[in-house]
Structure 1
């Protein structure tokens, strides 16, 4: 069993590394087919391939370097001249692995932080850029709806490089519902989500969210010149990107206006919604900041934040990555994530949702059936219920009593057959408590939190429509099941051109056009009507060859426990 575990762990690590590399650049022949759009700051030259125009790496903010490192983004006002946007654009500095911890991850972390690897993956601090993809030949007066993508990656890694929306854009055209796809690059890891009281006092919290916000403002200022309609923007994200989508809805207590107009009119959240979070200056937050400061050699500095800004790039990158990462034992206990700062996020996202302090727009939100399996591969020492309780208590929620965690764990059946990947009997339990831990992590971060959020949204804004889903199209995949982020392969890329890919893309494309997933090509015939969640609290359950409606009431005892302890079970 250990060999199975280590093999799977290696495969996961390699897959994560592979995903982090930029998508293949257009060939020389494809680059020769160019197109251009004139915006106030210059002429943006893009490439054309497979009837899709691509404009990558368009700067929207000044380079956040030097004194602008760990500062809110500053809008770019200087001329770009004739700007080459034929590629995919850069990546912000990434946190693939921690530079501390066990030998394997530390070696990998330090290797990846070398200048050679950074260059190969396109990493640079000067990364605040946009990527626009549109149907070939789109005219400036087309007024196409806009799908604004926010990538995921645990707030530690990711970039628009990883997401080529050519097939999505082409599918929109084939369905008679063309749209423009826009993706924003934002700072991740310690560059974008550094916590600590010093950060709070400096007004430097939640920088990654502010990057996303400025990207949305760039769309309002420029997308009409690409043929888009700035009044028809749908924001869409997966994982940390989906969490960011709600955060964008909740920023400034729900004020999503810019120059008197709404930044977006609808939202799609894949595997993520609200994350109950402690303030930026919480105890564990300060521990993260102090660890980074020490690793950067700034502990003796009078102004530690200023010292971090003055550090050379590699020193700061290694220091920022010296805290635990998501691809490791501490898993979803993230070192970096959006946290309440009293201004940008005025309170914990779950509190803002319950109080209706967010921009209430039509939304689609859903999960993969086995969200927690991917995050439970790294804890093979958890072999008993007591060890499971201690792990969740000490790693995720150390500020509550152990009895609080005992109560949560007791709501989950201890039998192997009850765990995740669900509906697989006694199989796939690669170590004792794996399937139980996977069920719990998947629920508290994604699946049951989604249901709790929908209940809050329905109570606060009963007239705003919402649709929800559960994806089961990978049921049977050994150990992982329908795992977290599998929708990137199925929904985003359509790697398997099956029913699930066709149906979900059709629902989404219809939603982008009409703010209702019903009405897509084949809807009512090939694809079943999708009822709003409030009508009967049903999910659309997607399989690789069909779909059906599913009552959203599973694991209700666990949901009730999480709801009643929401004020204390915060990261």
Structure 2
């Protein structure tokens, strides 16, 4: 949708002054919201693969006479390319910034609730600048502040090795999962600073899409294991992703690190500090090119027993996480699109249209025992399933979508509601609100082929009320009644969402004709079967219990 922007000066109290913009509709000329782009939430580290630094208490953004100018975008971590979603504009390794969208008018007595949104992109690409909340704030009753942070991605955000571990220990830090630590830093900044924008830092709804939803899972797990006094999350939306399997071990991460060194022609015989010196001096474009060329080209989380506990999935199985969710009354909206697999099949598909090529591609994401188990479950005879046209996009897209969304999401809910001890946690069912999208807004055609149907990411235009695109008047009533009204109630902490489901095996489903039905999940048993099979693999050593438990 076309918009008009006018400068807007905002006092942030002890944080100084910023000058953002007031966004208005280009057609109606009605003001929609205030916007502040590229607000710093942390200072950059002294070197790559170190933790960002918390803003000092004396940090200010500007003065009344010389305010920080923030009408534009956040810096974006250098990243891999995908379709037209990863342009090089705005690339900056100092990407510790967020965009803040603020409702018009005076905030309520306790401040507006906060919708904290983590962008997706397989943890390899993506940008907070791709999400637009102006219409959501200006044309609905959302009345919440929206915060969208940038964070480190790919090898810049998720590289791990013993060399990096020793380097981090020398400055008293843990290593790996820097992208997750960045997100947590932005969450803590939001808790501590959003009041200067009129927000309530104790009422944060943590949301994310795709890899952002995957991030929500791990941010939520980290938050649940923190003391109550340090908890940040009040509600969570896990849109089109889930917990999958315990993230890779340090040993597998070391193999990936060694492959990267080889691709960059850095000798493995060099001392650790020299390896890191050369890596840190490598231009990010060169680093990214090498990272995409190796077998283990997906740079995702590592089980570091700091951000991600060694026994995390056991805390799912034995009800620890479920009991903590109930104790803190943290509710979850989670669900899927009907045709997730079409978009998934385009992300670095197998180079060969063979079963072996598909297996090789999956090994870039998942440990070998997991992939071997998947091969036995999905392709017991080694033949292409009848409902698949080929191995390299269709079969790959379907199994990838099952692992990222469909089956693992059902397994996650199964684990929460039916612990391994067969003693479900009382009260957990009432915290889970499931949905299924089978309806597509016409504005999604701007970025995703109509032939893909209700594929992955099409519903972002529903949750974000067009996400910057114009919604037809005939469509607004449909998505308002079906999804957005309940979503708004959720963000505001209301008890009755009008969701209509009765139990965790039911899904509020928006049908192709715009009607809403409550669907008894026919895919439940298959999802749980695959989840159980992967949980029985036992490829990880849990190595003791974290003191944070």
TM-score normalised according to structure 1 size: 0.76
Superposition map of 1:195-234 within 5 A: 195-201=160-166, 202=168, 203-234=174-205
How far the C-alpha of 1:296 sits from its partner, in A, is 4.5
In structure 2, the partner of 1:10 is none
1:251 equivalent in alignment to 2:222 = yes
Residue aligned with 1:293, SS: helix
Q: CA deviation at 1:286?
A: 1.9
Partner of 2:276: 306
TM-score by length of 2: 0.79
Match of 2:314 among 351, 364, 370: 351
Q: Which secondary structure does the structure 2 equivalent of 1:322 belong to? A: helix
Equivalents in 2 of 1:235, 1:252: separation in Å?
A: 11
Contact 1:373-1:479 at 8 Å conserved across structures: no
CA distance in 2 between counterparts of 1:493 and 1:334 reads 34
Secondary structure at the counterpart of residue 208 of structure 1: helix
Q: 3-state SS of the aligned residue for 2:417? A: helix
Q: Measure, in 2, the Cα distance between the counterparts of 1:533 and 1:251.
A: 26
- Following the alignment from structure 1 to structure 2, what is the Cα–Cα distance between the partners of residues 310 and 206? 17
Alignment deviations for residues 53-97 of structure 1 (CA, whole Å, 9 cap, x no partner): 001111111123xx3321112112133323212222221222226
* Distance of aligned partners of 1:511 and 1:143 in 2 relative to their CA distance in 1, 3 Å threshold: same
Question: 1:471 is matched with which residue?
Answer: 437
State how 1:350-429 maps to structure 2 within 5 Å: 350-358=313-321, 360=325, 361-377=330-346, 379=349, 386-387=355-356, 390-391=359-360, 397=366, 399-400=368-369, 404-410=373-379, 418=387, 429=389
Is the 1:382–1:433 Cα contact (8 Å) retained in structure 2?
yes
Q: Taking structure 1 as reference, are residues 456 and 555 closer, same or farther at Cα in structure 2, changes over 3 Å only?
A: closer
Distance 1:380 1:277, change over 3 A: closer
8 Å contact kept, 2:358–2:391: no
Q: d(CA) in 2 for partners of 1:230 and 1:394?
A: 40
Q: CA deviation at 1:234?
A: 0.4
Quote how far apart the aligned CAs of 1:542 are.
Answer: 1.4
2:422 corresponds in structure 1 to none
1:133-152 aligned within 5 A: 133-139=101-107, 141=109, 143-152=111-120
The aligned residue for residue 560 of structure 1 is 529
Alignment match of 1:241 (pick from 209, 212, 231)? 212
**Structure 2 unaligned runs (5+)?**
25-30, 169-173, 420-424, 541-549
In structure 2, do the counterparts of structure 1 residues 533 and 186 end up closer, same or farther at CA, with 3 Å as the change threshold?
Answer: farther
Q: Is the 8 A contact 2:410 2:527 kept in 1?
A: no
* Aligned pair partner of 2:149 in 161, 184, 187: 184
Q: What are the Cα deviations for residues 295-333 of structure 1, in whole angstroms up to 9, with x where unaligned?
A: 445436421563156415xx24421442238xxx98xx8
Q: 1:214 to 1:308 in 2, by over 3 A?
A: farther
Please say which of residues 342-351 and 447-456 is displaced more in the overlay. 342-351
Note if 1:263 corresponds to 2:204. no
Corresponding residue pairs, total? 491
Aligned pair 1:501/2:479, yes or no? yes
- How much has 1:442 moved relative to structure 2? 1.4
Aligned to 1:100: none
